[in-house]
């Protein structure tokens, strides 16, 4: 099977908060990578769930809006888990050009999401 090269853009961390940077994208695919740190440590399942839901409303929802507005595929991967001094709610998802999440890891735990992005000319 032949897979042609496809140009892709990237948004890194806080760049994803700037509409003008999204509007400058000239590709059909954008990979959005970030490390949204959470204030205070997460010690319980409920605290992790709260952080994950916050990032779903803040980061993922914003990426969905940009995908739909600009008719782009967005692959989103954000840091998940804990470091020595910070916790990260993690989201891994593929968003289609209609703004719909078509694949997603179920929660904040580190994991791997493998997807195919169906591009056509």
On average, the pLDDT of the chain sits at 88
Q: What is the pLDDT of residues 61-94, one digit of tens each?
A: 999 999 999 999 999 998 888 888 888 888 999 9
Kindly report the pTM of this predicted structure.
0.86
**Low pLDDT (below 50) residues in the chain:** 1-2
SS (HEC) of the chain = CCCCCCCCEEEEHHHHHCHHHHHCCCCCEEEEEECCCECCCCCCHHHHHHHHHHHHHHHHHHHHHHHHHHCCEEEEEECEEECCCCEEECCEEEECCCCCEEEECCCCCCCCCCCCCCCCC
């Amino acid at each position: 099977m032949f897979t042609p090269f496809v140009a892709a853009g990237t948004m890194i961390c806080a760049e994803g908060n700037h509409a003008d940077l999204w509007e400058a994208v000239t590709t059909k695919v954008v990979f959005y990578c970030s490390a949204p740190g959470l204030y205070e440590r997460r010690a319980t399942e409920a605290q992790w769930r709260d952080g994950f839901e916050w990032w779903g409303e803040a980061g993922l929802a914003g990426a969905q809006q940009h995908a739909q507005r600009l008719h782009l595929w967005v692959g989103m991967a954000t840091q998940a888990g804990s470091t020595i001094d910070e916790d990260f709610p993690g989201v891994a998802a593929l968003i289609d050009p209609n703004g719909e999440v078509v694949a997603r890891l179920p929660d904040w735990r580190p994991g791997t999401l493998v997807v195919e992005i169906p591009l056509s000319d």
